[in-house]
């Protein structure tokens, strides 16, 4: 608008004169309020950040949370201006509409850039699992998305390949098979669309390539974002090295030696920041924040039962609020403006506390917003119970099959 007013008020003589010079200076100035990208893993000067946790294939809840955060309108179009949205991984699995969410986020990336904002999608453990073929949690509706006119023929070829492999590797077992019963069980494991799903998610496939374009750890202003968490075991890596290593392991996946992407202490699976004893882990958190020159870490992965939950005096914020119906369908997200962290619950906003002793009144305020949430009652009960030395919190909902509860907490010196 200002440039239009300037044009109408400034006399020009062809393409020369002082008016054009001043106009060029105006156009060269950075847009007020727009963040600056430092590199692929770091942004500075972002005025407003919205972070949402695990979505797990629930498209309706995803849309609702983004509308409540003021990022999209009823038609799903970006209205967030220069806001940056960070989705911290686990778009996939548990629910049927992961691809719809993924494609919506990709569209919003383009729309937001035109408005001076941004949309960032991080790698979660469930996206990685889809890439290397651990499909235990893929919803049947996901396979239906990939069903096309060639699906029957593709599955038949997969069936023939399976029989050939079985006959070659275990001929006696193959000879004794009841093929009709075996086929029925096999079709449950390999429904229509399975072949296309695998083809799309391998590193060379459409969604496999998308995955390899996402970072593992992202820093915006003074906040680090990661799916599972940062542990002392890996905090010597740079932001770039986290992603480079994960991408290489996904492209050359070795089931016998999967590396960081399946390590319980790795950034996709680590739950220590969400559940380990704060007093014991505080020196490590301090060292990690110092290492990356950050003031807080925002994590997903460990369900909180519907609350944006601060730990370590707000220096860690657990933000897997259970948005998907599978985890309760909670409407909650994190908003960061400057140094202030605010939790959004529908149209309500609460400051995320950072002072010792402030979590109880905060939790009671969240309970007043969501009085039917039994998870919050349990959290309050644990908070008010006499502390057990060395015992931290447990994630509300999903237990991590890969996490070793007796994993050693390494010296914070390893970050240096």
Please list, in sequence order, all residues whose beta carbon lies within 8 angstroms of the beta carbon of residue 146, skipping any fewer than 6 positions away. 193, 194, 196, 197, 200
d(CA 245, CA 261) in angstroms, rounded, equals 9
Kindly report, residue by residue over 12-56, the tens digit of the pLDDT.
333 344 444 433 433 333 333 579 999 999 999 999 999 999 999
Report pLDDT digits (tens) over 324-356: 999 999 999 999 999 999 999 999 999 999 998
As separate numbers, helices (DSSP H) first and strands (DSSP E) second, the chain gives 16, 13
Residue 411 pLDDT exceeds 90:
no
Instruction: Give this prediction's pTM.
Output: 0.88
| Tokens standing for residue 185 | 């069980």
In this structure, what DSSP letter does residue 205 have? S
What is the tens place of the pLDDT at every residue in 252-266?
A: 999 999 999 999 999
CA distance 94 to 309: 23
Range list of H helices, 202-314: 206-212, 239-251, 272-275, 278-291
The token duo for 140 is 């049947």
Q: Which residues of 68-101 are buried (b: 16+ CB within 10 A; e: fewer)?
A: bbbbbeeebebbbebbbbbbbbbbbbbbbbbbbb
Q: How many angstroms separate the CA atoms of 236 and 416, rounded? A: 7
Could you tell me how far CA 273 lies from the centroid of its own chain?
16
Phi, psi angles (nearest 5°) of residue 138: -70, 125
- List the structure tokens of 272: 């220590």
Alpha-carbon gap, residue 39 to 243, rounded angstroms: 13
Evaluate whether the domain defined by 36-134+204-415 bears CATH number 3.30.1490.20.
no
Sort 407 into a burial class: Cβ within 10 Å, 0-12 / 13-18 / 19+. middle
The proportion of the chain whose per-residue pLDDT surpasses 90, expressed as a percent, equals 81
pLDDT digits 0-9 by tens, 355-381? 989 999 999 999 999 999 999 999 999
Domain map of the chain by residue range? 36-134+204-415, 148-192
């Amino acid at each position: 608008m200002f440039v239009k007013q300037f044009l109408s008020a400034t006399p020009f003589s062809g393409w020369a004169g002082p008016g054009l010079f001043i106009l060029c200076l105006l156009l060269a100035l950075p847009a007020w309020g727009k963040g600056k990208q430092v590199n692929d893993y770091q942004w500075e000067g972002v005025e407003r950040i919205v972070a949402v946790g695990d979505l797990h294939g629930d498209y309706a809840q995803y849309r609702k949370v983004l509308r409540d955060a003021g990022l999209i309108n009823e038609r799903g179009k970006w209205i967030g201006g220069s806001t940056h949205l960070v989705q911290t991984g686990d778009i996939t699995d548990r629910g049927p509409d992961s691809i719809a969410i993924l494609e919506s986020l990709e569209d919003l990336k383009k729309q937001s850039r035109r408005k001076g904002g941004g949309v960032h999608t991080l790698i979660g453990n469930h996206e990685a699992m889809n890439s290397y073929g651990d499909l235990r949690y893929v919803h049947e509706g996901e396979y239906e998305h990939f069903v096309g006119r060639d699906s029957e023929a593709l599955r038949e070829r997969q069936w023939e390949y399976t029989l050939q492999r079985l006959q070659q590797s275990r001929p006696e077992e193959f000879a004794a098979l009841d093929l009709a019963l075996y086929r029925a069980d096999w079709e449950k494991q390999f429904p229509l669309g399975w072949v296309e799903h695998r083809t799309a998610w391998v590193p060379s496939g459409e969604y496999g390539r998308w995955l390899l374009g996402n970072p593992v750890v992202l820093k915006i202003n003074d906040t680090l974002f990661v799916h599972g968490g940062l542990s002392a075991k890996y905090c010597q890596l740079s932001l770039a090295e986290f992603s480079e290593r994960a991408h290489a392991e996904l492209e050359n996946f070795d089931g016998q030696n999967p590396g960081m992407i399946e390590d319980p202490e790795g950034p996709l699976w680590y739950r220590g920041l969400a559940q380990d004893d704060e007093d014991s882990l505080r020196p490590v958190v301090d060292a990690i924040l110092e290492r990356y020159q950050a003031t807080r870490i925002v994590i997903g992965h460990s369900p909180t039962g519907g609350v944006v939950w601060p730990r370590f005096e707000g220096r860690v914020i657990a933000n897997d609020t259970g948005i998907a119906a599978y985890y309760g369908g909670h409407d909650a997200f994190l908003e960061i403006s400057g140094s202030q962290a605010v939790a959004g619950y529908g149209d309500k906003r609460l400051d995320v506390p950072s002072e010792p002793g402030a979590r109880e009144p905060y939790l009671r305020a969240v309970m007043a917003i969501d009085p039917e949430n039994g998870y919050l009652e349990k959290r309050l009960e644990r908070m008010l119970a006499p502390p057990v030395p060395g015992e931290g919190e447990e994630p509300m909902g999903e237990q991590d099959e890969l996490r070793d509860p007796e994993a050693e907490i390494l010296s914070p010196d390893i970050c240096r």
